[in-house]
Structure 1
Amino acid sequence: MLNPISEGSALYPGEALWWLLFASWNLALIYSDLRYRRVPNGLIVSGGVAQSLWLAAALLAAGWAYPPRWSGWLMAALGFLTAAPFLLLWARRLMGAGDVKAIAVLGLLLGWAPLLVVLLIASLLAGLHAVLYLSVSRFLALSARLRQIPYAAYLGIAALSVASMPSNSAWYSWCSSWCSTGS
């Protein structure tokens, strides 16, 4: 998992730049989904291309560093491919295509294990949204727009939360051990 605050050391310039890009991309994702209830393809492409270029530079350019706490190419590929099962939800119109694409980009950005935690937190937030909507709609007439769950926004919120989780916290320790051992 990622941590914007390195334990006992300052951020190196590349790390600070990666965090700035990561936070900006997630904030744009949150804003777009909350404001318009859609995720622009330009945002998805820019996130995927930026991370791919960063990883290619880290692989090929001397002195260029991988993103903070980089878990490796396999974990990034697994994170990206984690979006594939969500295509079934999209095909049944239970999830938007932008949500599925956002999962793929976040998988590339974070890797597989942190993405699982992001999906868990985002799903809990989406479930809370649904329960609140159902509860309030019994007493008030709510717009159809409020019925739409901004899942990509919840993904962005969860990604920022997971990425900024201190590595010495009990939650981070549990998530790391659970994701690596499955227990």
Structure 2
Amino acid sequence: MVGVWLIWLCATVYFDFKARRVPNWLVLSGLAFASIALSTGRQPFELLWTHALIASLAAFLFFLVFYAFKVMGAGDVKFAGVLALWVGLTPFTWIWLMASVLAGLHAALFLVSKRQPLPFVLMKLVHGPAINDPSKFVKSKQIPYAGYLALSAIAWLLLFKQTPGS
């Protein structure tokens, strides 16, 4: 199931960085696979249902506050809830902190790019789909937060987690 989880994370990175949105079908597929993993005892991080549900609800409600203040998109909130269902609350906290650092760097690059040109690769990262229409650069303030959560989750797996059987 770790492989399925990694594919789901990579798909999230792709969609969020490319289009600045996380499709509902992607969030629902993550939810479905997490539920299957939990119900069949194949949860890769040895979480119990109760811990997974508490983590998911806590993450969802926490991020919902940011959505209510229009600081975060609905896809980011839903993705965070499903991600916490996969990893649990303690790992999710580390993942969230790392994603916040990455999002902060993204915001700083956005501010710098308004004053001076950046290399094309950085411009594509900062401005996403708006890169094809320079008039939209200043208007495109969306940060791919779900993508940064997904990248941070991959980093967490590589740095800290030994999955069963590995």
Instruction: Report the TM-score when normalising by structure 2.
Output: 0.80
Of 38, 45, 68, the residue aligned with 1:91 is: 68
What percentage of residue pairs aligned between the two structures are identical? 37
Of 131, 137, 146, the residue aligned with 1:143 is: 137
CA distance in 1, matches of 2:105, 2:13: 17
1:55 pairs with 2:55: no
- Please say if residues 56 and 82 of structure 2, whose CA atoms lie closer than 8 Å, have aligned partners that are also in contact: yes
Higher mean C-alpha displacement, 66-75 vs 155-164: 66-75
**Change beyond 3 A, Cα 1:54–1:69:** closer
The answer for the alignment partner of 1:164 in structure 2 is: 158
Displacement of 1:145 in angstroms is 6.4
Question: How many residues are paired up?
Answer: 144
Q: Rg bigger for which structure?
A: 1
1:122 pairs with 2:105: no
The answer for the alignment partner of 2:81 in structure 1 is: 104
Secondary structure of the residue aligned to 1:83 is helix
CA displacement, residues 106-160 of structure 1 (integer Å, 9 cap, x when unaligned):
0001111110011000000000000111122122477146531110110110011
The answer for the alignment partner of 1:74 in structure 2 is: 50
- Please say if residues 8 and 26 of structure 2, whose CA atoms lie closer than 8 Å, have aligned partners that are also in contact: yes
Instruction: Report the TM-score when normalising by structure 1.
Output: 0.73
CA distance in 1, matches of 2:161, 2:39: 26
The answer for the alignment partner of 2:120 in structure 1 is: none
Q: Which has the higher helix share?
A: 2
Question: Structure 1: where are the runs of 5+ without partners?
Answer: 1-17, 59-65, 169-183
CA distance in 1, matches of 2:20, 2:91: 25
Cα RMSD of the aligned pairs, angstroms, is: 1.8
- Please say if residues 122 and 155 of structure 1, whose CA atoms lie closer than 8 Å, have aligned partners that are also in contact: yes
Question: Structure 2: where are the runs of 5+ without partners?
Answer: 118-133
Q: 1:4-15, aligned counterparts within 5 Å?
A: none
Of 21, 32, 40, the residue aligned with 1:38 is: 21
The answer for the alignment partner of 1:181 in structure 2 is: none
Secondary structure of the residue aligned to 1:85 is helix
